[in-house]
Each structure stands twice: as C-alpha cells, then as structure tokens.
Structure 1
C-alpha cells in the first residue's frame, strides 16, 4: 500500500468551506505517481514514452473534508488484468474515511494506438501493492 499526506490548500475549498469534490481527483492522481513510475521511470510525458491511459474513474464521498487538517491518501491495487489494472484510493482526515475511489489504467502504446500486455517485471511490482478487498 502506498501512502501520501496532502495538506489542503486554501484554493482546494469551495463556497461551503469544505474541500471541493474535484480536488479529490487531483489528490488521487498525485498518489498514483509511484505506480506511473513502474511504467515510465522518469515520468517523461512524451508521446513515445508514456505507457498508460486512464479509462475510468469513480469516487464515493463519505464525509466532508476541511481546510486546515492534513488528508492521508492510501493507494493500493485492487485488480490486475492482462493489459489493465485497478487502483483503489482512500482519503482519511482526522482518523475518519472521508472518500474512496478507483481508477482503471491500461498499459497502452500511443504510437500503435493499442493496449499491450503488462510485462511480468511490472506485474510483479504491481502485485506488491495488491490488496484483496474482500478480506479487508
């Protein structure tokens, strides 16, 4: 499991004085950076080198989050397929689960415009973060 701590910025709040819903997408993306490095170690965003494409995201908002308190983002892999994998995220503030979400990422060759099998070496790294959600 990967963990990061995010300190909310003033600009992350909305008119109701809590963390804006769209901010969660940014925080979860930030939490995926170590996983992106499995595929593109230098995070080079050039068309020829980037190896992932996102095909789905989903979010469940379980409670409000507020400015002034750090948010702990937990990230893990919930499923690994032949060409894709699913990341799961949790946002915790003050010891309470406030939001959760998932993203489906596909190993993709932008030059050939098609998905590719996840190499065994990368699959092994992904499996180190695999969590069986049924047992949790």
Structure 2
C-alpha cells in the first residue's frame, strides 16, 4: 500500500534559479516518511526504545518543482531486511490535468538501540504493519 501526502512548497524552498532547491527534496522525503510512520506506528511511538537512523538516501531528479506547483509524494516500503528497511518515494505534480513525475528516491532506515548504540531487529509489530502496506 502506498501512502500519499501533499507537499506544501514554501517560499524558502526556492533557490536563485526559481525552483525548489535540490536539498529540499530530502526534507520532503522526511516529512512524508514521518506522516507515514505516524499512520503506521501511531503517535505513541517511543524514539528512545524503538529508534531508527538514516543509513542511506538517493534521489533522481526528473524535472523541477516551482513555488505554486501542486504536488504529492507517494511513500511505500520497497524492501525489508533483519534490521533495516527501504522506503521508496515518488514526487508527482499536477499540471494541466496531467500527472508529471518530478523525482524518485529511496532511503534506507535502520532500527537502532540508542542505549547500546547498535542496530536491532525490526520490531515484529512494525514488520507486520509494513507488510500490510
């Protein structure tokens, strides 16, 4: 299942070239990921006991976003390992009743025990919910 969230392009996201700066896309990924997590895990998530860390990220830019564009980001689980999982992203804007692919990317997240400073297995409940999505 894919989670879809709206992107709110802020004036501060725009660079000297008049489009959304490339670094901002990671913020869009993070916002979408956290909305998806809140929906999947719930708002009572305890970061200190069930932490995650970002291990890898990549983005492929297809075309620019501008201040007044209407865009959404699709978020989905691409892969699960023992302690890590890969989240995929697709940013799509609507222009003249057409959907245009703006960017794709993914992040690898690792479940992490902040006390021991070591990776830990994906919690069973998370794995179950991720498999359902």
Identify the TM-score tier after normalising by the shorter chain. 0.7 to 0.9
Map of 1:50-65 to 2, 5 A cutoff?
A: 50-65=50-65
Map of 1:39-50 to 2, 5 A cutoff?
A: 41-42=43-44, 48-50=48-50
Aligned counterpart, 1:134? none
Task: Note closer, same or farther for the CA distance 1:66–1:15 as it changes in structure 2 (3 Å cut).
Answer: same
Secondary structure of the corresponding residue to residue 8 of structure 1:
coil
Query: CA offset at residue 118 of structure 1?
Result: 1.1
TM-align CA RMSD:
1.7
Secondary structure of the corresponding residue to residue 111 of structure 1:
coil
Secondary structure of the corresponding residue to residue 30 of structure 2:
helix
In terms of mean alpha carbon deviation, does 83-92 or 36-45 score higher? Answer: 36-45
Structure 2 unmatched runs, 5+: none
| Structure 1 outlier segments of 4+, above 6 Å | none
Query: CA offset at residue 36 of structure 1?
Result: 3.6
Map of 1:118-129 to 2, 5 A cutoff?
A: 118-129=122-133
Map of 1:2-41 to 2, 5 A cutoff?
A: 2-37=3-38, 41=43
TM-score by length of structure 1 reads 0.85
Query: CA offset at residue 34 of structure 1?
Result: 3.7
Query: CA offset at residue 64 of structure 1?
Result: 1.1
Structure 1 unmatched runs, 5+: 130-136
